[in-house]
Structure formats: structure tokens, C-alpha cells
């Protein structure tokens, strides 16, 4: 995964619901809703490593509520 994708994922992670909706609207306006215009990308070594971690690490199956994540990151 390249640096810009990491930044986007990080931003989405801490967005409130309204900001996420605004971003979603921009994505669907730009790319449509059926994803025909989105080019499929082959996973790189980092992506494959993350997918393997998801399968094998039980901590990857733990979820945190948005409010708790914001507090933990010092953003609330």
C-alpha cells in the first residue's frame, strides 16, 4: 500500500459520520456506484502481509467504537 492510501485510510478512521458521508458522496460522484470505473490493483507485499495478519492474528478481530478510538488517539 502506498503512502497516499495509508493517509486516506488514517483520515477515514478518525472521521465523524458527516465527514465520512461527504467523502462517500465525492467517491460515488467521481467513480459511480457500481465501481466499473475503478481499476483493480494487484496487492503488493504490504497488502499480502496485512491480509495474512488478518487471517492469523486474533487481535485483528477486535473492534473499537469511534468515541473510544478518538479518546485513545487524543482527538476527543
Contact assessment for residue 71 and residue 28, using Cβ atoms and an 8 Å cutoff = no
Residue with cell 465520512: 20
At residue 63, the pLDDT reads 84
Tell whether pTM > 0.75.
Answer: no
> CA 58, CA 17: separation in Å to the nearest integer?
27
**Could you tell me the end-to-end alpha-carbon distance of the chain, in angstroms, rounded to an integer?**
28
User: Is the predicted pLDDT of residue 2 greater than 90, yes or no?
Assistant: no
> CA 56, CA 43: separation in Å to the nearest integer?
18
At residue 73, the pLDDT reads 87
Contact assessment for residue 76 and residue 67, using Cβ atoms and an 8 Å cutoff = yes
Amino acid at each position: 500500500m502506498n503512502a497516499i492510501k495509508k493517509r486516506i485510510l488514517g483520515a477515514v478512521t478518525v472521521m465523524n459520520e458527516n465527514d465520512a458521508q461527504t467523502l462517500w458522496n465525492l467517491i460515488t460522484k467521481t467513480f459511480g456506484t457500481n465501481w466499473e470505473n475503478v481499476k483493480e490493483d494487484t496487492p503488493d507485499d504490504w497488502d499480502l502481509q496485512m491480509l495474512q495478519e488478518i487471517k492469523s492474528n486474533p487481535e485483528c478481530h477486535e473492534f473499537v467504537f469511534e468515541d473510544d478510538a478518538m479518546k485513545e488517539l487524543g482527538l476527543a
